[in-house]
Structure 1
Amino acid sequence: MCSSLDSRVEESIEQAAEALFGLQRSNGSWPNRRPTSVMGTAGALTALHVVDRERSHDLIEGGVRWLLDTQNADGGWGGTAGAPTQIVPTVMAATALRLAAPHASQSVRRALDVVESHGGVQALPDPGMTLVTSVFLELAELGDVRGIKRVPRELFLLPQQLWRRHLSFGVALVIAISFIQTRKGLPGARRLLDRLARPAALRALEQVDRSETRRGGYGGDNWLASAVCVGLSCAEEVPSRMISDIVDYLRSNVHEDGSWHMIQGLDLIGSAYVSQGLADAGYASDPRMALARQWLRSCRQDEASPVFDTPAGGWSWEGPRGWPNFLDTANVLTALAAGGSEEPSEHLRHGLRWLESRQDRRGSWGTFIPNTTFPNDGPCPYATAKCVEVLIENGVPRDDPRIRKAVDWLFTQQREDGTYESLWYRGLTPGTAMALVAFCRAGVTGHPAARRAREALLGAQLPDGSWASGKTGKLGDDHAKGTVEETAWALHALLASGVPADEPRVRRAADWIMAAQQPDGLWPASPVHMYIRDLKYYVDGLIVHGLALKALGSYRSALAGIPRQETEAL
């Protein structure tokens, strides 16, 4: 391989590393720019209009202007400003404008026309989101909820272990919707049962709130907090503090341009990816990386979560408090493992045991609760493959029953075209790439499923050398335009599977990633992250850099013929 190519890869990695270390905070973390969010803004507008209209008048006006300015030419909105139109954010924006900006009736009409042109909210692939969007449309007098199911709040009269598995991380939203649905009252016996269930539902909601980094910030999510606020405003005998905490939370989060972001606390997720990328690019022993790992360790949760029935020892995107989940924990563990023998083994060992304990009876991993029936927290090929990778790389034998069970489950989840889906990343590229990596770590590269996944990735490469979402048919996916994130996932997986660095398609992918690098040494982020599965995407400002560095680090190693090293069992 020519030295000019080697030097280009080296220069790209060094430029990115220098830029990232320049952004690193003194505590070891990296600041993650929180993307402005259509749903976050629409939710905050709705909530403040309903419960704090007078005091928050200026904030409401600013949010209305932002929504009107960011409406797409087709009349809809995507997850963020300028993103392709998707139905759920369009409905939420229309609802907010209908309530808070009567003068914006034309914009609301255009938005509703877009929704109807795609079959209306009844055509959404997720029945839960059909319910949620219908309830908000009815709240703004833009729809009719007759025939829509009522959320059975009496479910909360049952022991928590009976409803937890069915509601998962949707507990707060389910309670909020149940309150909005009953604001006009219920007939007869239902009214009595609903009244009996109200205290139990409020206790569950308070339990969620007590686990938060900040009171009133459910999941660190402005839209969810807003939905809870609206729901509580429709309920009777609700402690005023619960509403005022949310209002204070929303008021503190508004941006100068009048918008609200989506998720608070993406620093941990982004920092974990950046740490992984820098380590794979050759900086694992850098003192600044030791500081990053120290910060990640400090974010481990030292309390059990009664809401999710999880022990202490996991990680959440919000930091030391919040909603512990499997995928964030696996990513942090990968970053910590890069420290090698310098990493305090008890932290890594405890985290690995925590992750192992979350495997469900199928052999897969979801996100929050094992064995859940909740659609957006079911078994996930990407999460399962990531957990397989991190466990094997930290000493769990390939023939361990847990690994074999997980790999066998992955075999059953492959689509006919050889691809895999993911719960939390759009399209088919991330899941397919991660599954291929897991097969390689598990030593089954020759299995037909692994061969099909590899061929599917190679076949999906775009003419310019990049990868996009793949042909999914989902509104908002653009399978013709590559992204750095998806290209990096694919390149790393192909190299892990043994495709040589001098293979033309691999070289084109590496060239594309380097060409996409900006003058400041970093890469542009794209909306490839799932907020609501297939219905709303968002941009993460840091993950893209970690993925790009990981891919280029793998490519450089492949050029040099350096084999990947695995750690010994802890």
Structure 2
Amino acid sequence: MCSALDSRVEASITQAAETMFALQRPDGSWPNRRPTAVLGTAGAVAALHIADRERSRDLVDGGARWLLAARNADGGWGGVGGAPTQLVPTVIAAASLHLLDPAGHREPVRRALDLVRAHGGVEALADPGIAHLARTFLALAGLGDVKGSRRIPLELLLLPRRLWRGRLSFRVAPFVAMAFLQAHLAPPAGLGRLLYRSARRAGLRTLARVEAGENERGGYGGDNWLVAVVCLGLSGAGAPSAMTADTVDYLRSHVQADGSWHIMQGLDLIGGSFVARGLAQAGYARDERLARARQWLRGCQQDQPFPVFDAPPGGWGWEGPRGWPNFLDSANVLSALQTGGEAEGEEQLRRGLRWLQSRQDRTGSWGTFVPDTTLANDGPCPYVTAQAVDVALTGGASPDHPSVRRALDWLRARQRPDGTYEALWYRGLTPGTAMVLVAFGRAGLTADPVARRAREALLRAQLPDGSWGPGDTGILGDDPARGTVEETAWALRALLAGGMPADAPRIRSAADWILAAQQPDGLWPAGQVCMHVRNLAYYVDGLIVNGLALTALGGYRSALATTTTTTAAEKEEV
């Protein structure tokens, strides 16, 4: 007989699934509400103020009003509206407001900069590239100087792409833009001026190559913040007016009614892949509505190479059929497509699997954009590596396949002493630890010491109410105040894959917490678990949270059914 909790699981899944299907577009995709962004808004108003001042005056004024209204009580800003104060958004917002109106914004700028100084100033930023960006914005606003900053070697682009691709990776566009801004604020002299002229031409060509692979003209990664940085760089470099105008038009076309700009323009694909995977796990794999979603996902597979990343056709990005192909989103989509079994999609699925395998690092890991990169913010990443293993095993590879074996060996060597793993694109230690445990469980290695330590780490981190949180200071489970649906769902799925029985009290308390967190409309509240700028700005994703919750509850329901069947069989034998 089913328990009350079992009945609640069934009702929860049904309600969530029907709500998600009701929101589905006719083409099979789901709309994804993106959060408004402090960085994107501050960058956009600064860029439009410099590159399109007269025509965009109303947009600049509206963005400034939004920024002032989005301040936290301490005078700072978070990465998105309402988020806790963080150093970089505070610096960028203050610099932009000062650039627009030094006298009118004197008090909010003063409070913000006092707050920055109280936290160690720009010097407290560990990432040299982000620190340089913050100094440059302050200098652009007349609040600092870049002359003492380390010079950005734009002439690197004069070398063959294979020699700089791994060092710059996805930062190639901001690298060029920031070099342009640096040269504008502190013009090179002597021989450096001659070298810069050649490097400037190479930089413009590189930006043109990046833009050629985008979904929209003037859009760089679909990221309003990055578009603003490129726009400022192009303006400082005296770039051809058409290139600058494209970025201006992009920003003008994506301003929101409240005067803000979203953090990203296109996240429907990655969020939709999470939802499709979750609905399949929850029992809807053969539903015609979900078949439409998989068809849409297949239609977003890229059929053109992305030369800047040296990526062949066959992968996916987060925006659609064009844009920046990456390993994380491609693995997510493949995971969703593997649940369908449609004959017409088999070749695309095999092509995607081959693409993902071809992106593996020489060490056995996977990063995000460029294999074997030396850029820390790209890879290698335990979460992406574990997910790639999961996808490969589902695709028919054996645990002894050379690609899988090398990945598992790499994961063994990268486990932290406390049993945890990091994830590059999700905060804290819960997602990475959970995904690695899933990979080892799928490989039949639940007794492996790595799996055991990861399982123990997750159990130690479970909060008293049954949930999991991020571990904000880098120690899993060190924040007892709150859990999130995303992190709890990651952990619940992993513990089941790692061999824990569904009727274990810790498993049941996790499932019960997810059920209790479900909202009246059948969906779940999203937490700030997604990374925009590593360790500096996070955002919520309203699709990912529902996909993760459905995946966890669907797996829990299946495990309960197996446990019930096994128990009944054992009783009959007795």
Normalising TM by the smaller chain, what interval?
over 0.9
**Amino acid corresponding to residue 21 of structure 1 in structure 2:** F
1:568 is matched with none
Please give the per-residue CA displacement for 1:296-315, whole angstroms capped at 9, x wherever unaligned. Answer: 00000000111100100000
Q: Is residue 285 of structure 2 the alignment partner of residue 290 of structure 1? A: no
Say whether the 8 Å CA contact 1:64–1:101 is kept in structure 2: no
Q: Does 1:447 align with 2:441?
A: no
**Post-superposition CA distance 1:114-161 (Å, at most 9, x none):** 222221121112111111111111111222334321111111111111
Query: Aligned runs of 1:522-537 on 2, under 5 Å?
Result: 522-537=523-538
Deviations 1:498-546 (A, max 9, x none): 1111111111111111111111110111111011111111111110000
- Partner of residue 571, structure 2: none
The within-5 A match list for 1:228-239 is 228-236=230-238, 238-239=239-240
Q: Is the 8 A contact 2:80 2:537 kept in 1?
A: no
Structure 1 CA distance for aligned equivalents of residues 94 and 18 of structure 2: 44
Task: Evaluate the alpha carbon distance shift between residue 543 and residue 205 of structure 1 in structure 2; reply closer, same or farther with a 3 A threshold.
Answer: same
Q: Deviations over 1:179-220 (max 9, x none)?
A: 000114112110110011111110000000111100101000
Partner of 2:269: 268
What amino acid does structure 2 have at the position aligned with 1:203?
R
- Residue pair 1:77, 1:89 contacting (<8 A) in 2 also: yes
Shift of 1:341: 5.1
TM-score relative to the length of structure 2: 0.96
**Distance in 2 (alpha carbons) for counterparts of 1:343 and 1:422:** 34
For 2:479 and 2:76, how far apart are their aligned partners in 1? 16
Residue among 222, 226, 229 paired with 2:228:
226
- Give, in whole Å, the separation in 2 of the partners of 1:86 and 1:489: 26
Distance 1:43 1:478 in 2: 32
Question: Does the 8 A contact of 2:291 with 2:340 survive in 1?
Answer: yes
Give distance in 2, aligned partners of 1:321 and 1:2.
47
Query: Which one of the candidate residues 207, 210, 229 is aligned to 2:209?
Result: 207
SS at match of 1:530: strand
Question: Greater CA deviation, 134-143 or 239-248?
Answer: 134-143
> What's 2:361 paired with?
360
Match of 2:567 in 1: none
- d(CA) in 1 for partners of 2:171, 2:301: 23
The match for 2:373 is 372
1:47 aligns with 2:47: yes
Q: Which residue of 1 aligns with 2:549?
A: 548
State whether residues 469 and 479 of structure 1, in contact with CA within 8 Å, keep that contact through their aligned partners in structure 2. no
Query: SS of the counterpart of 1:234?
Result: helix
SS at match of 1:486: helix
Taking the aligned partners of 1:479 and 1:75, their CA distance within structure 2 comes to 27
**TM-score normalised by length of structure 1:** 0.96
CA distance in 2, matches of 1:463, 1:347: 45
Alignment of 1:19-168 (within 5 A): 19-102=19-102, 103-168=104-169
Listed one character per residue, the Cα deviations across residues 32-65 of structure 1 (whole Å, up to 9, x for unaligned) are 0111111110110110111111111111111111
Residues 79 and 537, structure 1, Cα contact 8 Å, conserved in 2:
yes
Q: Which amino acid aligns with 2:201?
A: P
Q: CA RMSD in A?
A: 1.4
* 8 Å Cα contact 1:33-1:540 kept in structure 2: yes
Task: Give the secondary structure class of the aligned counterpart of 1:531.
Answer: strand
Matched, 1:182 2:183: yes
CA distance in 1, matches of 2:345, 2:472: 44
Asked if structure 1 preserves the Cα contact closer than 8 Å seen for 2:41 and 2:260, the reply is: yes
Residue 28 of structure 2 aligns with an amino acid whose one-letter code is G
In structure 2, distance between residues paired with 1:492 and 1:354: 27
Identify the residue that residue 572 of structure 2 maps to in structure 1.
none
Provide the aligned length of Structure 1 versus Structure 2: 560
Which whole-Å CA distance do the structure 1 matches of 2:333 and 2:420 have between them?
26
SS in 1 for 2:377: helix
Structure-2 residue corresponding to 1:10: 10
Q: What is the match of residue 333 of structure 2?
A: 332
Task: Report the counterpart of residue 463 of structure 1 in structure 2.
Answer: 464
Give, in whole Å, the separation in 1 of the partners of 2:552 and 2:77.
32
Distance in 1 separating the partners of 2:510 and 2:401: 35
- Which residue is equivalent to 2:486? 485
Partner of residue 570, structure 2: none
- Counterpart of 2:257? 256
Query: 1:209 corresponds to which letter in structure 2?
Result: E
Q: What is residue 345 of structure 2 aligned with on the other side?
A: 344
Corresponding letter in the other structure for 1:167: L
Write the mapping of 1:313-328 to structure 2, written as runs, cut at 5 A.
313-328=314-329
Question: 1:198 aligns to what?
Answer: 200
Aligned-partner Cα distance in 1 for 2:431–2:111: 34
Aligned equivalents of 1:461, 1:95: Cα separation in 2? 41
The Cα shift of 1:170 comes to: 0.6
Q: Is the Cα–Cα contact under 8 Å of residues 503 and 563 in structure 2 kept in the other structure?
A: no
**Partner deviation per Cα, 1:292-334 (whole Å, 9 max, x = no partner):** 0000000000001111001000000011110000010000001
Contact 1:279 / 1:338 at 8 angstroms: preserved in 2? Answer: yes
Query: Is the 1:471–1:479 Cα contact (8 Å) retained in structure 2?
Result: no
The separation in 2 between residues aligned to 1:115 and 1:439, in whole angstroms, is 43
Quick one: distance in 1 between partners of 2:547 and 2:310? 31
Describe the shift of the 1:242–1:562 C-alpha distance in structure 2 as closer, same or farther (beyond 3 A).
Answer: farther
Deviation per CA, 1:386-421: give whole Å up to 9, x if none.
Answer: 000000011011101111110010011111111100
Structure 1 unaligned regions, length at least 5: 564-570
CA contact under 8 A between 2:294 and 2:336: conserved in structure 1?
yes
1:566 corresponds in structure 2 to none
Q: Does 185-194 or 134-143 show the bigger shift?
A: 134-143
* Structure 1 partner of 2:473: 472
- Partner Cα separation in structure 1 for residue 257 and residue 514 of structure 2: 33
1:171 Cα deviation from its structure 2 partner: 0.7
1:281 aligns with 2:282: yes
CA distance in structure 2 between the partners assigned to 1:2 and 1:441 by the alignment = 28
| 2:360 alignment partner, SS class | coil
Output the CA distance in 2 between the equivalents of 1:478 and 1:96. Answer: 34
Q: Work out whether residues 156 and 200 of structure 1, in 8 Å CA contact, stay in contact via their aligned partners in 2.
A: yes
The verdict on how the C-alpha distance between 1:264 and 1:441 changes in structure 2, with shifts beyond 3 A counting, is same
Give 1:342 shift.
4.3
Aligned residue type for 2:560: L
SS of equivalent residue, structure 2 residue 170: helix
Look up the SS of the partner of 2:512 in the other structure: helix
The offset of 1:177, in angstroms, is 0.2
Contact 2:146/2:182 (8 A) holds in 1 = no
Amino acid in the other structure paired with 2:67 = L
State the 1:478 CA deviation: 5.8
